[in-house]
Structure 1
Amino acid sequence: MIDVYLFSGFLGSGKTTLLKHVIQQAKDAGLKPAVFMNELGEMNFDSDAVEDGIPLKELLDGCICCTGSEKSEAQLQTLLAEEEFDVLLIETTGAAHPVEALDAIFSPLFAEKLKFKGIVTVADSKRWLDRSQLSPQIWSLYLEQIRHADLILANKMDLLTEAEQAQVTFEVQGLNPEAQIIQTVQSKVPFSQLQKISASKSGAVQEAPVSKLNLNAKVLEFQNPVKRDDFEDWLRALPESVFRIKGYVPLEGDKYPHAFQYAYGMAQWLPEYMKMQTQIVVIGENLEGIELP
């Protein structure tokens, strides 16, 4: 049977970074991983994190846990039919309820081939401390993602003081005392820790589908290169309802666009060495007035 791990966590928590670490560690252990990724928008920039040679299927512009459940099942069936692998890593969209996302995994079409190991939730520790700024719907989903985890990564601990680290760990553990909690930086956790977990019985599920969260994904295309300072000024002026931005930004003076990631007020720039489509995906609430500078 194929071991299956489901990576959960809100937008920008560090799920894709975790995915990259686990892929490499699984390969180092002599295992062949495969990946199934889910994204709200029509494009999945996070798929670039999956290196060539790793079997990959994607569900775009839908949620694995609701409207896209049948499509997810079909993609997984195709993956199992076309490829041979030892470990299946599922990265859900940040708006997915982890328990609802399990429907596709337990399809009668292939359930006997998969051994579900558990839910790994990446919790943004900084966002936890600033949770008063979240809408009630987003906060409800955040809690559900933690409550139903079998392993919790209290991530971004390097952004907190020692007192804040202790506070987050204590409060998150209190919400789900049965799950192991590990303090992490950049979602780094030994693959051996994942292999030790086993799925626990889930309690009552409080539904929080995307339609109730009012989350949207908006694609913004660049017509011309921009100055980095001007773009970062635009970022700082964005409302707090913008949770995540990712894509490729063309900067003045550079031959190739830069890969760009933004979550919770923090931006990350990475150089690219090939031509990429210069656009970004903005994810959040109330995005109607969000336009490029």
Structure 2
Amino acid sequence: MKDVYLFSGFLGSGKTSMLTDVLRQLKEKGLKPAVIMNELGKLPFDSRAVDEDVPLKEMLEGCICCSGAEKTEAQIQSLLMDSEFDVLIIETTGAAHPVEALDAVYSPLFAEQLNIKGIVTVADSKLWLERETLTPQVRSLYLEQIRHAHLLLANKMDLLTEVEQAKVVFEMQNVNPNAFILQTTNGKVPLSLLEKLKATAHKSKEDIEIARIGTQLYLSSRLVELKTSYTQEQFEEWVRSLPSTVYRIKGYVPIEGIKNPMLFQYAYGLVQWLPEYIHMPSKIVMIGENIQEIEVLNEK
């Protein structure tokens, strides 16, 4: 299993500084990192922070979260086939929504090979105090990146007074009461804190641990093996019964009377079925909050 971290945060928040320092710590520990960088521009400026001996995939002029999801899947498959590494770090663009970024990297094709450790969001503390100056859309994304973080770095604390520092931490904790908040300067985060994260849900109910801040958090992903066939109506009825905290489902569902499991995707209340011309494993990935508590169709 390869550990995977998603680094989230706005442009200028300190993500690249964090990435550079984490790569250094991984190497000092004798671990081999690989990196996927997501950039909206044509020139890969940030990739200069990654040493030549680190396997690197870049996605220019694309976003990890929508049209770029399939490209991300292909990049990860390519890394798994061609490169030797222990830890994969995916640096998302500042425009990526955390849920969609998690969805893009967790494919049923290779879910069993990846251990999604969590989303680490770097938040510019000075920007937090000035967030009312942002446009509503940008401010909403900024809050969502903070709300869905498993580990939250309140960065650039050196630019604030003690009173402002306390205000930032208190207010961010109100937005995301489940994340551990680390006050940082220059995006410095101890590797030991990252290693404690655990965003991949356990595979069986017997293995579920008591939730702890910084280890098992609300936004998580779960791989489910489907052991029986269904009609499309049965499966969709189950999907409709799920709580709104299930954000994404994708994978291959065995349908009665059809030779190969069909590709199924669910997002924003909409479902999509596509025929598959080769036999894919009957597995789905679910992404949401408290996902390990959901009763799956074939478990009823």
Pairing partner for 1:201 from 197, 213, 218: 218
- Where does residue 150 of structure 2 map in the other structure? 150
Distance 2:72 2:197 in 1: 24
Residue 106 of structure 1 aligns with an amino acid whose one-letter code is Y
Q: C-alpha displacement at 1:165, in angstroms?
A: 0.3
Asked whether the equivalents of residues 178 and 218 of structure 2 are also in contact (C-alpha less than 8 Å), the reply is no
Runs of 4+ that moved beyond 6 A: none
Give RMSD over aligned pairs. Answer: 1.0
- Where does residue 138 of structure 2 map in the other structure? 138
Q: How does 1:240-251 map to 2 (within 5 A)?
A: none
- Where does residue 163 of structure 1 map in the other structure? 163
Is residue 2:32 matched to residue 1:15? no
Q: How does 1:210-289 map to 2 (within 5 A)?
A: none
Residue 120 of structure 2 aligns with an amino acid whose one-letter code is V
Q: C-alpha displacement at 1:149, in angstroms?
A: 0.4
- Where does residue 81 of structure 2 map in the other structure? 81
What is the percent sequence identity of the aligned residues? 67
- Where does residue 68 of structure 1 map in the other structure? 68
Asked whether the equivalents of residues 40 and 62 of structure 2 are also in contact (C-alpha less than 8 Å), the reply is yes
TM-score of the pair, normalised by structure 1: 0.69
Question: What secondary structure sits across from 2:172 in the alignment?
Answer: helix
- Where does residue 33 of structure 2 map in the other structure? 33
Question: What secondary structure sits across from 2:218 in the alignment?
Answer: coil
How many pairs were matched up?
205
**Structure 1, residues 134-184: CA drift from partner, whole Å, max 9, x if none?**
000000000000010000000000000010000000000111111100000
Residue 137 of structure 1 aligns with an amino acid whose one-letter code is Q
Gaps of 5+ in 1: 206-293
Q: C-alpha displacement at 1:104, in angstroms?
A: 2.6
Distance 1:124 1:196 in 2: 23
Q: C-alpha displacement at 1:204, in angstroms?
A: 6.8
TM-score of the pair, normalised by structure 2: 0.67
- Where does residue 239 of structure 2 map in the other structure? none
Distance 2:197 2:115 in 1: 12
Q: Give the stretch that moved more between structures: 99-108 or 35-44.
A: 99-108
Question: What secondary structure sits across from 1:77 in the alignment?
Answer: helix
Distance 2:177 2:40 in 1: 31
- Where does residue 255 of structure 1 map in the other structure? none
Q: Which structure has the bigger radius of gyration?
A: 2
Distance 1:112 1:198 in 2: 15
Gaps of 5+ in 2: 200-216, 220-244, 248-300
**Structure 1, residues 16-68: CA drift from partner, whole Å, max 9, x if none?**
11100100001111110000100011221000000110000011101000111
Asked whether the equivalents of residues 20 and 50 of structure 2 are also in contact (C-alpha less than 8 Å), the reply is yes
**Structure 1, residues 244-283: CA drift from partner, whole Å, max 9, x if none?**
xxxxxxxxxxxxxxxxxxxxxxxxxxxxxxxxxxxxxxxx
Asked whether the equivalents of residues 69 and 105 of structure 2 are also in contact (C-alpha less than 8 Å), the reply is no
